[in-house]
């Protein structure tokens, strides 16, 4: 998480993580869910481009080890199966990670880019 268009910034490639899972023998029995992206070299059960991304306070920001994530392929949905009270407690005081870049083109991109669900575009509507 925190690898989406804003958090990365730029949706960094997750191949190193999938390769590491495969390297330790977990490539076929461990799902990798991220707001980052995958290339054609990815192997295993991987779900990317999750939106809203963690930096925007999407549910992926509040997932903890041991939580159940319901994956419904026909409806193309992911659900974090956590009691609403628990989720509300996790949201209290939450802040996105500090920006990785504070100047330059990547800082500008992170401020202007929209989420993956709208194509990660930087159109500015005035």
**Tokens at residue 19, please?**
């390769």
Residue 123: per-residue pLDDT: 76
Three-class secondary structure of residue 6 per DSSP = coil
What DSSP letter does each residue of 22-68 carry, written as one string?
Answer: HHTT-TTT--EE-SSB--TT--SSEE---SS-GGGT-GGGG--TT-E
Q: Are strands 32-33 and 77-81 parallel, antiparallel or unpaired?
A: unpaired
Residue 28 appears among annotated catalytic residues: no
Q: Kindly list the domain boundaries of the chain, sorted by start residue.
A: 15-84+92-118
CA torsion, ordered 58, 59, 62, 64, to nearest 10 deg: -140
Q: What is the pLDDT of residues 46-101, one digit of tens each?
A: 899 999 999 999 999 999 999 999 999 999 899 999 999 999 999 998 988 898 99
**Are the C-beta atoms of residues 48 and 4 closer than 8 Å to each other?**
no
Residue 125: per-residue pLDDT: 64
Q: What is the pLDDT of residues 90-110, one digit of tens each?
A: 999 898 889 899 999 999 999
Residue 126: per-residue pLDDT: 60
Residue 69: per-residue pLDDT: 95
Q: What is the pLDDT of residues 15-43, one digit of tens each?
A: 888 889 889 998 888 888 999 998 887 88
**Which member of 28, 39, 118, 122 is catalytic?**
39
CA-wise closest residue to 59 among 108, 106, 1, 116: 1
Q: Rounded to an integer, what distance in angstroms lies between the CA atom of residue 27 and that of residue 86?
A: 30
Q: Can you give the length of the chain in residues? A: 126
Quick one: how far is CA 64 from the chain centroid? 14
């Amino acid at each position: 998480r925190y690898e989406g268009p804003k958090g990365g910034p730029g949706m960094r490639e997750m191949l190193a993580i999938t390769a590491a899972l495969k390297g330790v023998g977990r490539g076929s029995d461990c799902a990798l869910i991220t707001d980052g992206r995958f290339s054609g070299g990815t192997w295993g059960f991987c779900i990317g481009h999750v939106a809203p991304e963690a930096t925007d306070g999407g549910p992926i920001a509040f997932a903890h080890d041991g939580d159940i994530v319901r994956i419904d392929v026909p409806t193309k949905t992911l659900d974090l199966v956590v009691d609403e009270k628990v989720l509300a407690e996790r949201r209290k005081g939450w802040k996105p990670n500090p920006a990785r870049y504070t100047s330059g083109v990547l800082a500008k991109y992170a401020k202007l880019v929209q989420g993956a669900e709208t194509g990660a575009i930087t159109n500015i509507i005035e």
